[in-house]
Amino acid sequence: MIMGATRGDVSAGLIDTHCHVDLYPDPAAVAGLSERLGVRTIAVTNSPFVFDHTRALAERARYLYPAVGLHPQLVASRSHEVGRLVALLDSTRFVGEVGLDYTSIDPEDHRLQRKVFARILGACAEHGDKVITVHSRRAAPDVIDAVGGSFPGKVILHWYSGTVKDLDRALKNGAYISVNTAMISSKKSLALVSRVPADRILTETDGPFITVGQKPAVPSDVNLVVERLAEMWRVDAEEASHVIRSNFDEVIAGDG
């Protein structure tokens, strides 16, 4: 048994640390589903100008945490929105989706992304209590360098796909890794996940971008990830679910 794990109901207390609730055809229905099932969900946004709608949904829910974000792939056209994001940091403890994405080969785009990400990190550091969910596709070394080892908040690397070396650096710096159904379907990703200590693992859907059974994943679908982690850890699903809940409690410790 993993240290600290206890038996319980795996259907209760699931955690989704990265879900684009606002991008579903019916965001209120997704929020309502999370509420009914008790799935604590970080509702990330891709632009600060859509944050208000997500915040309004969260005001009517116990289990929805609204996050203000600026997706790195939108920075080229929306870098001017970073000021709005910074201003909204007084409104929420949660930040995402932010980070770097080097899918583009344009070095100027990369430079602008780094500039915007640095400003976001700096503003978050001034607050000192933020929980940020970070995108790092093809950019893990620069993301890990930018965050550093003394960021005064909690960092969740969303859908990490970098190298083992950079993963080890991120873990040394205190980062958490959030795992989704696409990752548990990939041998490469599973190899990375197997290196992460159990007390640094979280779960996510990245819905609606990831699908489950040919439908957009919804927060309760993280149960599939919990079941796979349980197999990996050689515990039952209830114990694995308890570990994930405990990790999330640690991430949001002090949140009112």
pLDDT tens for 80-113 read 999 999 999 999 999 999 999 999 999 999 999 9
Mean pLDDT of the chain: 95
Contact 224, 10 (CB under 8 A): no
Q: How many CA atoms lie within 13 A of 185 on its CB side?
A: 7
Q: Residues near 104 by Cβ (< 8 Å), separated by ≥ 6?
A: 73, 76, 110
**CA angle centred on 182, ends 217 and 11, rounded to 5°:** 50
The reported pTM is: 0.94
135 is annotated as contributing to ligand binding: yes
Contact 35, 64 (CB under 8 A): yes
CATH number of this structure's domain 15-251:
3.20.20.140
User: Can you tell me whether residue 22 is helix, strand or coil?
Assistant: helix
Q: Using 50, 70 and 90 to split pLDDT, how confident is the model at 254?
A: low
Q: Using 50, 70 and 90 to split pLDDT, how confident is the model at 10?
A: low
18 is annotated as contributing to ligand binding: yes
* 60-79 pLDDT per residue, tens: 999 999 999 999 999 999 99
97 is annotated as contributing to ligand binding: yes
pLDDT at 2: 39
User: Can you tell me whether residue 138 is helix, strand or coil?
Assistant: coil
> One-letter amino acid identity for 183?
M
Give the residue extent of every domain in the chain.
15-251
pLDDT at 239: 97
Q: How many CA atoms lie within 13 A of 40 on its CB side?
A: 16
206 is annotated as contributing to ligand binding: yes
User: Cα(235)–Cα(10) distance, rounded to whole angstroms?
Assistant: 12
pLDDT at 6: 34
The residues facing 134 across adjacent strands are 98, 157
pLDDT at 44: 99
Nearest to 46 by CA among 15, 16, 77, 25: 77
User: Cα(179)–Cα(210) distance, rounded to whole angstroms?
Assistant: 12
